[in-house]
Amino acid sequence: MGQNEPLLSIQHVTKEFYGNVVLRDVCFDLREGEILGLVGENGAGKTTLMSICFGMPVIAETGGFQGSISVDGQETHFSNPFDALDAGLGMVHQEFSLIPGFTTTENIVLNRESMNPSVLNNVFGDRMSVLDRKAMRARAESAISKLGVKLDPDMLVSEMPVGHKQFTEIAREISRSKTKVLILDEPRSPTGSSSSATAVSSRM
């Protein structure tokens, strides 16, 4: 990748929902180390644009979009968010996607848990591995300290103040080793306040 090649490039993106045009010919580039803020009133189309970048199913289900999205110079055709994660995008959604009955640590490493093999592996295979809680906690603590905030790794999400939930979501995204571009869709206003901003930042 060249020094000046954008990490994320949005070119001529137009999106309509059943004839209602919500994005018209949107273009922008994001380069390594940049933070870009998108500001717009409620309904301006911020979430829609970020959903297009991240391959959210709602976009395909409502007729797709026009224009192109490239990551690291490669045009993307994500059919779902897992493809976007694989390509190095992370997204913190406007609505929470944490599991309330799990702790900070469990939510941060969810689906990427550290495992220890057990003797039962020989007979029953990898499914009998046990969670390596020490390693999981260390990974969660490393992501939390990268963020520079104070979070209790053992607190249940259901018992957290709202700000801590938001940081937990961000920690989960930056703890993925592949993440190059992080999309934050109004991470400070999950209840839909009147001031709206969405940020896209790269390689934190």
Residue type, 76: T
Q: Among candidates 115, 15, 2, which has minimal Cα distance to 62?
A: 15
Q: Which one of residues 45, 55, 90, 153 is an interface residue with ligand ATP (CB under 6 A)?
A: 45
Is residue 47 a contact residue for Mg ion (CB under 5 A)? yes
Is residue 124 a contact residue for ligand ATP (CB under 6 A)? no
Q: Which one of residues 46, 137, 139, 172 is an interface residue with ligand ATP (CB under 6 A)?
A: 46
Give me the 61-80 binding string for ligand ATP, x by CB under 6 A, dash otherwise.
Answer: -x------------------
Runs of H (alpha helix) within 29-180? 46-53, 57-61, 81-86, 104-109, 121-124, 133-147, 162-174
> Smallest gap, in angstroms, from Cβ of residue 95 to ligand ATP?
10
Bridge-based pairing state of the strands 181-185 and 89-92: parallel
**Which does residue 73 touch among ligand ATP, Mg ion, none (CB within 5 to 8 A, set by kind)?**
none
Torsion angle of C-alpha atoms 184, 186, 189, 190, degrees rounded to 10: -70
Q: Which one of residues 28, 29, 31, 44 is an interface residue with ligand ATP (CB under 6 A)?
A: 44
Q: Is the CB of 80 or the CB of 142 nearer to ligand ATP?
A: 80
Q: Is the CB of 78 or the CB of 106 nearer to ligand ATP?
A: 78
Footprint of ligand ATP on residues 98-117 (CB under 6 A)? Answer: none
Is residue 42 a contact residue for ligand ATP (CB under 6 A)? yes
Assess contact for 14 and 23: CB atoms under 8 A. Answer: yes
- Gyration radius (Cα) of the chain, Å: 19
Assess contact for 164 and 179: CB atoms under 8 A. Answer: no
Interacting residue ranges for ligand ATP, rule: CB under 6 A: 17, 22, 40, 42-48, 58, 62, 94, 192, 196
